[in-house]
Amino acid sequence: MTYSDAQPKANEIKEAVLARRMPPWGAVKGFGHFRNDQSLTQEQIELITKWVDGGIRRGNNPRQLPEVPTFTASDLPVVDDRAITVQGPTVVSESILVRGLQPQRVSPGQSIRIVAVLPGGSVEPLVWLHDYQTRYAHPFLFREPVRLPAGTQIQGVPADAVVALLRAGK
């Protein structure tokens, strides 16, 4: 939160940022399009790397400090009774509009790539969870809802994992 907190851990911060473990997002960047993606951009990663490699200089402009983050109830995982639970390969029986996914039961450290194979054979990437950590559980909300027609196959969810498809609309 402060320079005195970060300065002694600068090299660890740089390594965590380069490995994309910090900030925790849990999904592979670029696989799916999410409106709540809080992972760092390449420019932000380069800025942190240059700061560490440049001697971890302290800034002197207090107006440039970022705001302390706050979290609201809308940031918390929400699954309602309209969600569709997926465990193992699943075929969608009716056309649905999906606003995102919420991991319900994924083992810590597990990596799974979830895709929707549409009836025509095209593949829609949904989410690729990488080194998943349950302590950072959150929904993965698509930028735009994804329409999955009847007969769509959801693939990539192992039999020992559970993921909820969050329906959009009513």
Angle at 119 between CA 117 and CA 123, to 5 degrees: 25
pLDDT digits 0-9 by tens, 105-131: 999 999 999 999 999 999 999 999 988
3-state secondary structure of 17: helix
Same domain, 67 and 90: no
Same domain, 62 and 84: no
Same domain, 134 and 65: no
Token digits of residue 68: 């302390």
Domains identified in the chain, total number: 2
Same domain, 81 and 162: yes
Q: Which of 35, 52, 74 is the last residue of a domain?
A: 74
Domain hosting 60: range is 3-74
Answer yes or no: are the C-beta atoms of 160 and 124 closer than 8 Å: no
Look at the block and give the residue holding tokens 């995982």.
77
Q: Which of 14, 44, 74 is the last residue of a domain?
A: 74
Same domain, 65 and 84: no
pLDDT digits 0-9 by tens, 20-55: 888 888 888 788 888 888 888 889 999 999 999 988
Q: Which of 74, 103, 136 is the last residue of a domain?
A: 74
Same domain, 104 and 161: yes
CA distance 154 to 82: 17
